[in-house]
Amino acid sequence: MSLLRSATVLETTLLDLLPDLQACMPQTLEEDVNISDLLAVLSTILAHILRGDVSEHRPLVDRLAPGRLLMLERLLGTVYTDELSRGGALQDGEGFRSWFTVRKRTPEQPINHERHLRAQETTELTALQRNLTKERAERQEHSAWSTDAEKDYEREMEEIKLRNKALLDVKKLLLQRTRKYRLFPTRSRQKTLRQFMGTCRWTYNQAVAHYRKTNDFNAINLTAHYVTKNTRETLAYPEGMGRPPEWAHDTPASIRGNVMLKVDALKEISSEIDILYSNGVWYVAIPETVEPDPYKYRKSYIALDPGMKAFMTGVDLEGNVLEFRRGNKTRLEAVRDHLDAAQSAMATFKNQKGKSKRWQYRTYVRAKRTFLSCTVKMKNLVKDLHYKTCTYLIEHYDVILLAIFKTKDMVKKSSARTHGFNMSILSLNHFKFRQLLQAKCEVRCKSTVVCSEMYTRRTCGQCYRLYVNLDSNDVFASPHCDYRAGRDANAALNIMRYVIDAIPESDPFAIEMVLSPLSSWQEALLHLQAASAEAWQPTPLPYAASSALAVALQFLLVIVALTWLASVATLNYSHTDRLWSVTPFLFAWHFAYHAYLADSGVWDARLVLMAALTTLWGARLSFNFWRKGGYKLSEEDYRWAVLRQHMHWTLFQLFNAVFIAGYQHLLLLLLVLPSYAAYLHRDEELNAMDGAATALFLVLLALETAADQQQWTFYQEKYALLATKQPLSGDFKAGFNRSGLFRYSRHPNFFAEFSLWWAFYLFSVAASNAAFNPSSVGAILLTLLFQGSTAFTEYITVSKYPLYKQYQRRVSALIPWFPSSAALAESDDSKSHQE
């Protein structure tokens, strides 16, 4: 207890005591053990354990439950469990901060890097050469320079030159680099350069065509056929080909002959100069040799975690957290919006039919100029970001740990990613930045270590346990302890902690890539945590990872099969009618929920609005169908009974499978296809078009509700009169409704129904910015279906009510319009009294 209360224990940490413990241990068998010092150190360690500074020091295999240990052996074999049994490291309560302290306290070690020694020798030769030249100039000024001294000077300079040349050539110390400069040629020079480029392309195409027809790829033969102007040989050309025209010889043969060089192996860059033309700008690329800087090792490390919100997040050995260009996304998106608008204007001009007008061509020219300038500006912004980041890193750090950022794999997940996300992540060019950083480090004698970022973002920096449900949170808040840190900063910390142990301090340039930053027992433990966490994860991962449209089609096939089987079993063919008001809003909510999972728990406003409107439509239609008794299993649409009388049983069963059960359910999915279009364009915000579509949808829904209510009221009153055997008059005597909305349209509810889905289609227009897109196929097919259904319904109605023909001549079929002034006579036909 006195030891626990002592100031020595409070001032020291376990990490301070571990070197003392190692010093107390004998290095050889002959050396005696200092028992007093060893007991003092062990007692202090025991005091730390009793105070709770050490959470656990058992072997890791003892900390695992039997079930998890068995799972570990099945997943990773017995090799990892053997390493786990060797024991775990002591954990200090200070976490990463104490780890930084240990790394900084490591004593300096001599550097034996081979490249450093060669560079040092070359630098010494250069300094000796400079000193000899300076001494010669000073002695010449004082007239103390003789002929013998000049001979000795020339001999020594020649020896230095030979020794330096041997170092640079044999050991390849110099680096090959290419400098790119912009050219400003005159109009005549531009014309000449374009002619040279065009002739080279023509010569290349002729050589390829000659090879395909004759299978002859001999450089001398091809040069004689398509480059040499005059030759004594008699040349044979393939059919349809001949000697080069006169204009081809205006380009020098040395330029045209370069298109047929055969490269057998990689060689050093030659001294040839390349002239490039890109986006209306001329460049010249000149190769040169660069001598690397003198080698300096300050033992400064930094670990980088690439991302989107912040281009790079770094953590160095001092514990500093650096973010590079966190606000670059807004600036790049502004330029990208101008670029997309210009590209859209160019596409509109190219896709128009007929002869274009002058103002349209001027608009196209301005759009193309804007497109080229925005493209160059986008490249310059990203290039500026890359070079400034590289400059800062190289000036302040010697060893840079860079995690691999696989943008290609992220873009492949098209079902869960949007066009805006793909453009944002691809425009940063993370791979080009890695290449630039490696090239700059090679010149400045720095080290770049490329490593994997496996589990580094989801691993706690204090208790080292996995946090599976991190999603897109910017703050890493561990559910297992009180550790909180920035998401990217925590990833960089883990990269530093895992990778730095694999780099030998005596030669940090010996390691260029660490594919697995974890040791074997750490990798096994993280795999085990991931497997156990995901096994108890309630989120429907297979559903979220699947394509939203594919899941909808699978659900559609199930409904079609069940509906057809039910109709065959019950001989009732109205099961599709019972699901007509339910299936669409299920599809709409499916797309909204799938987007919610894909966007890491963020609901899309447009998809939720569309799902809510379809739910409102389905609830109203279900209520109207219910009060008519449509959900009773004994009820069936009267049209199917009439149709069965005019069709053979086998033909009707085929009609049932293809049209009633199959086509109608497919139509219900096609009606909700605008939701899938909005799903694919979730990056677009709500706009005025969405407001107009919502208002029009609600107005048409109200119109359909009013028409159905008028029809319901009319038939209820009619049936009441027939039940009490009261005399019928007016519309009741005619047998059908001609008042209210039915005064202006024979089927106002039909008109409101298909027009409502055209209003629903406008949401896809608002999302995709395209006036016509494939999601309109549902509204088109529904309109055609109502045309045919209306004709069949009225064919049955005319056979029951003779006055309906006069009603047809007087009132529009679907689109509401003012009725004609022709008088509608009433009839006492007996059929009008029957329903």
**DSSP-assigned states of every residue in 324-363:** E-TTHHHHHHHHHHHHHHHHHHHHHHHH--SPPPHHHHHH
Distance CA 347, CA 363 (A): 12
What would the pLDDT profile of 97-116 be if each residue is shown by its tens digit? 444 544 443 444 444 455 55
Q: Is 408 contained in some domain?
A: yes
Q: Is 64 contained in some domain?
A: no
Count of domains forming the chain: 6
CA angle 241-247-249, nearest 5°?
Answer: 85
What would the pLDDT profile of 372-422 be if each residue is shown by its tens digit? 888 888 888 888 888 988 988 888 888 888 888 877 767 655 444 456 677
Partners of 485 in beta bridges: 476
Question: Is there a single domain that holds both residue 320 and residue 263?
Answer: no
Burial class from Cβ neighbours inside 10 Å (0-12, 13-18, 19+) for residue 350 reads exposed
Q: Contact at 8 Å (CB) between 705 and 620?
A: yes
In this predicted structure, the answer to whether residue 93 has a pLDDT above a threshold of 80 is: no
Q: Which of 9, 111, 25, 697 lies closest to 445, judged by CA?
A: 111
Name the residue with tokens 């039910």. 566
Range of the domain at 187: 178-288
Q: Is 827 contained in some domain?
A: yes
CB atoms inside a 10 Å sphere around CB 252: 11
Question: Is there a single domain that holds both residue 594 and residue 707?
Answer: no
Q: What are phi and psi of 283, to 5 degrees?
A: -135, 160
Distance CA 416, CA 595 (A): 7
Q: Which of 671, 664, 662, 582 lies closest to 621, judged by CA?
A: 582
Element (H, E) at 91: none
In this predicted structure, the answer to whether residue 331 has a pLDDT above a threshold of 70 is: yes
Question: Is there a single domain that holds both residue 335 and residue 481?
Answer: yes
Distance CA 494, CA 273 (A): 46
* Domain limit, last residue, from 519, 538, 557: 538
In this predicted structure, the answer to whether residue 64 has a pLDDT above a threshold of 60 is: no
Q: Contact at 8 Å (CB) between 595 and 679?
A: yes
Q: Is 646 contained in some domain?
A: yes
| DSSP structural state of residue 648 | -
What does the pLDDT read at residue 281? Answer: 84
Burial class from Cβ neighbours inside 10 Å (0-12, 13-18, 19+) for residue 174 reads middle
Partners of 752 in beta bridges: none
Name the residue with tokens 């994860």. 537
CB atoms inside a 10 Å sphere around CB 351: 7
Token pair of 540, please? 């429907």
Q: How many residues does the chain have?
A: 835
| DSSP structural state of residue 478 | -
What does the pLDDT read at residue 194? Answer: 84
Q: Is 804 contained in some domain?
A: yes
Distance CA 516, CA 364 (A): 52
Q: Which of 287, 286, 282, 285 lies closest to 192, judged by CA?
A: 282
Question: Is there a single domain that holds both residue 281 and residue 306?
Answer: no
Question: Is there a single domain that holds both residue 706 and residue 669?
Answer: no
What does the pLDDT read at residue 703? Answer: 93
Distance of CA 116 to the CA centre of its chain: 41
Question: Is there a single domain that holds both residue 783 and residue 745?
Answer: yes
Token pair of 642, please? 């009439």
DSSP state string for 125-152: HHHHHHHHHHHHHHHHHTT---HHHHHH
CB atoms inside a 10 Å sphere around CB 65: 8
What would the pLDDT profile of 153-205 be if each residue is shown by its tens digit? 888 888 887 777 666 554 455 677 888 888 888 888 888 888 888 888 888 88
Question: Is there a single domain that holds both residue 319 and residue 360?
Answer: yes
Partners of 275 in beta bridges: 284
* Domain limit, last residue, from 666, 683, 700: 683
What would the pLDDT profile of 595-638 be if each residue is shown by its tens digit? 888 776 778 889 999 999 999 999 998 998 888 887 777 777 76
What's the chain's average pLDDT? 75
Question: Is there a single domain that holds both residue 708 and residue 834?
Answer: yes
Q: Is 722 contained in some domain?
A: yes
**For 87-107, b where at least 16 C-beta lie within 10 A, e where not — what string?**
ebebbbeebbebbbbebeeee
Pick 43 or 475 by higher pLDDT: 475
Q: Is 94 contained in some domain?
A: no
* Domain limit, last residue, from 538, 560, 591: 538
Question: Is there a single domain that holds both residue 515 and residue 583?
Answer: no
Question: Is there a single domain that holds both residue 324 and residue 464?
Answer: yes
What would the pLDDT profile of 629-668 be if each residue is shown by its tens digit? 877 777 777 677 777 777 888 888 888 888 888 888 888 8
Q: Is 99 contained in some domain?
A: no
What would the pLDDT profile of 788-826 be if each residue is shown by its tens digit? 888 878 887 888 888 888 888 888 888 888 887 654 444
Question: Is there a single domain that holds both residue 448 and residue 386?
Answer: yes
Q: Contact at 8 Å (CB) between 497 and 464?
A: no
Q: Contact at 8 Å (CB) between 177 and 290?
A: yes
Partners of 321 in beta bridges: 315
Q: Which of 569, 571, 610 lies closest to 593, judged by CA?
A: 610
Name the residue with tokens 């997943």. 75
Q: Contact at 8 Å (CB) between 581 and 621?
A: yes
CB atoms inside a 10 Å sphere around CB 485: 20
What would the pLDDT profile of 418-470 be if each residue is shown by its tens digit? 566 777 778 888 888 988 998 888 888 788 888 776 666 677 777 767 665 66
Token pair of 624, please? 């109207």
Question: Is there a single domain that holds both residue 399 and residue 501?
Answer: yes
Max CA pair span of the chain: 145
Q: Contact at 8 Å (CB) between 770 and 351?
A: no
Instruction: From residue 298, give the alpha-carbon distance in Å to each of 321, 322, 506, 513.
Output: 19, 19, 12, 21
**CA atoms within 13 Å, Cβ hemisphere of 779:** 22
Distance CA 639, CA 656 (A): 13
